[in-house]
Amino acid sequence: MMGLDIWMRENPLVYVWIGSYAVTLVIFLVEIATVVHKRKVTLQQVRLLRDAGDEN
Amino acid sequence: MAINWFKYSSPTTFYGLAGKMIPWFAVSAAILFAIGLYIGFVVAPVDAQQGEFYRIIFIHVPASMMSMFLYMVMAAYAALGLVFNTRLSGMMASALAPTGALFTLISLWTGALWGKPMWGTWWMWDARMTSELILLFLYLGFIALHASIDDSRRADRAAALLAIVGSVNVPIIYFSVKWWNTLHQGATIKFTGTSMQIAMQQAMFTMLLACWLYSIAVVLARVRSIILSRERNTVWINELPEVKQ
């Protein structure tokens, strides 16, 4: 822990960038990927359901 | 010319409108994030007391504001759904919850990161931090409760009650620094003005606007999937070009 304390005081901008902005970016990217994936899956399900309906 | 706003409370109309709006909000958010980060890291000066560490403010404060604001919007949609029994309200509330929860997580995470160099600790059971943590649990509770009920309309109603009751926590978060002696500092930006340096203000408000536009884009994209899923047995969904492909 002392090592981290010393490191963050010597590299404040790196600490701020990696710790908060990079983490936030990763969270946003994961959220966007989840939303895009969900849309693809839902569209597939709707198409399958429509195709199943057409066959009947 | 009068606009019939009720027209947009129908999933049929809203689905197409949301699809047209998403790219505009997403691109604007990306541009504003870039501008906000530039002002925040290049233009804004170093803080006299906190040095470079204060730059966490440009994401911490917008994320905290968004976490509270999105909860109130979610609770408002939930209440609308209960009062008017509109289908879209429940869908919007469920689309808002994950984004709100993520902003709450970002707020807590960046707060801890800021707390360590400034206060010497990652976490304290301080009124502001504890009430923000409760907000995260409320979001997670809303998502879990909604997911645990198979009938989506019943799930909307049950989760709406939780959202409305939980909204009491938002003013508690906001006023916690006034009502109790907290380690967390008081509000820097008040309705009466602010003592912040102008470039710091510009960076923070640009980032806040970027977070706002990002939230709108992502929530609209999520609600379109929810509409697709819930209305999958209707004729209009089967006639959509993306479904016909």
B184 exposure class (CB count in 10 Å sphere: 0-12, 13-18, 19+): middle
ipTM: 0.91
Mean pLDDT computed over every residue of chain B: 92
Confidence band of A56 (pLDDT split at 50, 70, 90): low
What's residue B2's pLDDT? 67
Read off φ and ψ for residue A11, nearest 5 degrees.
-125, 60
> Higher-confidence residue: A54 or B176?
B176
Provide the shortest C-alpha distance from residue A24 to chain B (in Å): 6
Contact A15, A6 (CB under 8 A): no
Confidence band, pLDDT 50/70/90 cuts, at residue B144: very high
Query: Is A16 in Cβ contact with B224 (below 8 Å)?
Result: no
Q: Contact at 8 Å (CB) between A43 and B228?
A: yes
pLDDT tens-digit map of B63-105: 999 999 999 999 999 999 999 988 899 999 999 999 999 999 9
Taking an 8 Å cut-off on Cβ atoms, the answer to whether B228 and A42 are in contact is yes
- DSSP classification of residue B120: S
Residue where the block lists tokens 């849309």: A39
Q: How far is CA B128 from the centre of its chain?
A: 18
Domain boundaries in chain B? 13-244
Q: What is the pTM of this model?
A: 0.93
Nearest-CA distance B73 → chain A (Å): 19
Give percent above pLDDT 70 in chain B: 97
- Residue of A17, A34, A46, A47 to mutate for B, most B C-beta atoms under 10 A: A46
Burial class (CB in 10 A: 0-12, 13-18, 19+), B198: exposed
Size of interface A-B (CB pairs under 8 A): 78
pLDDT at B135 > cutoff 90:
yes
How far lies B13's CA from each of B16, B145, B193, in Å? 6, 28, 41
The tens digit of pLDDT for each residue in B105-126 reads 999 999 999 999 998 899 999 9
Distance from the Cα of B2 to chain A's closest Cα (Å) equals 34
The terminus-to-terminus CA distance of chain B in angstroms comes to 37
Three-point CA angle B192, B193, B195, nearest 5°: 140
**Which pLDDT tens digit goes with each residue over B18-45?**
999 999 999 999 999 999 999 999 999 9
Nearest CA in chain A to B60: A20
Other beta carbons within 10 Å of B172: 17
For the ranges A51-55, B174-178, B224-228, B241-245, the one whose mean pLDDT is highest: B224-228
- Rounded to an integer, the average pLDDT of A34-40 is 96
